[in-house]
Structure 1
Amino acid sequence: MIDMNRLVMVAVGLMLFSACGQPAEKSKQHAKHEPVTVGADKDEHGCIGSAGYTWSQLKKECIQIFNEGFRLNPVAIDKGREVVSAFLLMSDDQAKVELFLPNDDHHSVLLNKTGDLNYGNETYRYDAKKSILYIKGKVAYKGNVE
């Protein structure tokens, strides 16, 4: 009977010791997958990207470009793929436009007025009359002009 009690005590002791190590392992895994709090992703200007805000060089403030800008949709759209638009924001004096391209690390590009309703630089040209954005001389995006 004593040997049976010792055997049970040893078995219980081993189970307790082996169970002690697992919670620490789980807490390490849990710490790696902490959710990011919305609003904690401010950029260098203080704009909260998860809320749709981006810095505007023209306005010198954080804006939601999809609410304030003019939408330009790509001319070439692959079937079954989502449409990712570019946006334009015009300065109050119409001397410049700010171009927001999807997937661009520079966030936005300023284009100076080059002629009547035309804006551009060496890479981009925007024809405001036709609402067409040319990239390296080729039509890339077009807006809805009514």
Structure 2
Amino acid sequence: MKKPLILLAFSLSLFSCDYILKKQDKGADTDSIGKENVVMGTDKDKNGCVLSAGYRWSVLKNDCIRPLEDGYRLNSVQQVEDESPVKSAFVIFDEDKKHAELYLPDTNAGIIMDADGKNVFRKGKWSLHSDKGYSLKQSGQLLFVGAQAVKEGQVTGDEDEQS
């Protein structure tokens, strides 16, 4: 009879010590982090897209999309030539290829571009050429190219127009 009582008392003391230590650790963590609790994934835009998860509102798709998964990647020419940090733009197209939506690095909203002739989309100073791979220009200056152009060596770094 004594053994079960001793075992029960020992078990209760272990559980109470564990409870006290966890309570003290919890207090230490909240002091080091701060008084506000941070909840990931609560940074939604006005359309309900979770920006921290990579979602952006698409006017063309009328839905939250992840440009990284749904769009075509355009790599920065500077990144290709200078091995600078990765900055990519992404582009998606509507079903009839009359409009393109451009997502630039460090922006949350897309830019709607209209087809302007065969294989060219324009919006203001931006032009997207899609004849031999994708290339994105701002005011005539090549800034982004499709990954295929990088693989094939079409980006050379000189100022001559690529054909």
The interval holding the TM-score normalised by the smaller chain is 0.7 to 0.9
Report the number of matched residues.
119
Give me the whole-angstrom Cα distance separating, in 1, the residues matched to 2:39 and 2:88.
Answer: 27
- Give 1 or 2: higher helix fraction: 2
Quote how far apart the aligned CAs of 1:134 are.
0.6
Unaligned runs of 5+ in 2: 1-26, 150-163
Structure with bigger gyration radius: 1
Q: Does 2:34 match 1:30? A: yes
The one-letter amino acid paired with 2:126 is Y
Unaligned runs of 5+ in 1: 1-22
Give me the whole-angstrom Cα distance separating, in 2, the residues matched to 1:120 and 1:80.
Answer: 28
Q: Secondary structure at the match of 1:111?
A: strand
Q: Secondary structure at the match of 2:116?
A: strand
Structure 1 residues 79 and 127 mapped into 2: Cα distance closer, same or farther (>3 Å)? closer
* RMSD, aligned α-carbons: 2.3
**Equivalent residue for 1:52?**
54
Quote how far apart the aligned CAs of 1:54 are.
0.8
TM-score (norm 1): 0.73
**Deviation above 4 Å: which 4+ runs of structure 1?**
none
Give me the whole-angstrom Cα distance separating, in 1, the residues matched to 2:83 and 2:139.
Answer: 26
Give the alignment partner of residue 128 of structure 1, picking from 110, 115, 130. 130
Give me the whole-angstrom Cα distance separating, in 1, the residues matched to 2:83 and 2:135.
Answer: 24
Contact in 1 for aligned 2:89/2:144 (Cα 8 Å): yes
Instruction: Give percent identity, aligned residues only.
Output: 31
**Equivalent residue for 2:155?**
none
**Equivalent residue for 2:91?**
88
**Equivalent residue for 1:74?**
76
The one-letter amino acid paired with 2:140 is G
